[in-house]
Amino acid sequence: MARLLGKVAIVTGGARGMGEATVRLLVEEGAKVLITDVLDAPGQALADELGESAAYSRLDVSKKGDWEAAVKKSGDLGPLSILVNNAAIIFQKTIMDTTEEDFMKIFSINQLGVFLGMQSVFPSLKANGGGSIINVSSIDGLQSKNSLVAYSSTKWAVRGMTKAAAMEMGKFNIRVNSVHPGGVFTAMHGSDFISQEDADKFYHSHAIPRVGLPREVAALTAFLASDEATYSTGAEFIADGGWSAGLVNDSLPQL
């Protein structure tokens, strides 16, 4: 399929994991993608592999100046119409063990970064006749877990900012939606030190009893980026194997 032919996208955190899977799928669908990250070597290697369909630019999402440079560079690929705010970091400590510095660091990347992204691309998207912003939140932007006070607060904020931005930008033909992955097998999920088979075991009580794969979330993002999603904005799109719906209870009758 070529659902994104002629479109230009910026993907943050695009060097690996879900960001990389998203870059690859957007390119397969015909888009040109500015891959951005703070991991320059893998980001540049991915851009080199994808040839004319991609370029790489260093972008620390917490820095306004980096955003301005990236938006400018995206113009080399064509008129920008898609932003995937994917970059984030995980942090797992209790409320009592989370310092103010920890909290502000997570905030500046996961929350301020998404805000700066939406703010930075808006003039271009408006000038180009509209577009689609996809903000990657999490299952932890719908519920939470012990140890996620900092991370989860940012993911709930991403969900809320998505709705506020959707209200402001709709009249300019700009859609803003959030994507909520469950457990997905990436470096953030420990893929460097546990096997996929072991990761599956965490999800034995889920309707789909296995870990998710980056491409399964990228598929949702590609749909939202495309003109198939023209009536969807301010909404939450979930790819979590049924996690947020409930858990299978083995002590109750089942099929």
Strands 80-85 vs 131-136: parallel, antiparallel or unpaired: parallel
Give residues with Cβ within 8 angstroms of 192, minimum separation 6: none
Please, are residues 174 and 122 in contact by the beta-carbon 8 Å criterion?
yes
Residues β-bridged to residue 180: 238
Site for ligand NAD contains 111 (CB under 6 A): no
Site for ligand NAD contains 233 (CB under 6 A): no
Positive or negative: CA dihedral 140, 15, 128, 114: positive
Site for ligand NAD contains 12 (CB under 6 A): yes
Stretch that binds ligand NAD, among 47-55, 93-101, 181-189, 226-234 (CB under 6 A): 181-189
Report the C-alpha gap between 201 and 211 in whole angstroms: 8
Site for ligand NAD contains 241 (CB under 6 A): no
Site for ligand NAD contains 183 (CB under 6 A): yes
Site for ligand NAD contains 13 (CB under 6 A): yes
Query: Angle at CA 147, nearest 5°, toward 143 and 151?
Result: 65
**Residues 35-54 within binding reach of ligand NAD (CB under 6 A):** 37-39
- Residue nearest ligand NAD, Cβ-based: 17
Query: Angle at CA 108, nearest 5°, toward 234 and 13?
Result: 70
Instruction: Using CB under 6 A, pick the residue from 57, 106, 131, 181 that binds ligand NAD.
Output: 181
Concerning whether 151 is annotated as a catalytic residue, the answer is yes
Which residues in this chain contact ligand NAD in the complex, by CB under 6 A? 12-13, 15-19, 37-39, 59-62, 86-89, 109, 136, 138-139, 181, 183-184, 186-189
- Which residues have a catalytic role annotated? 151
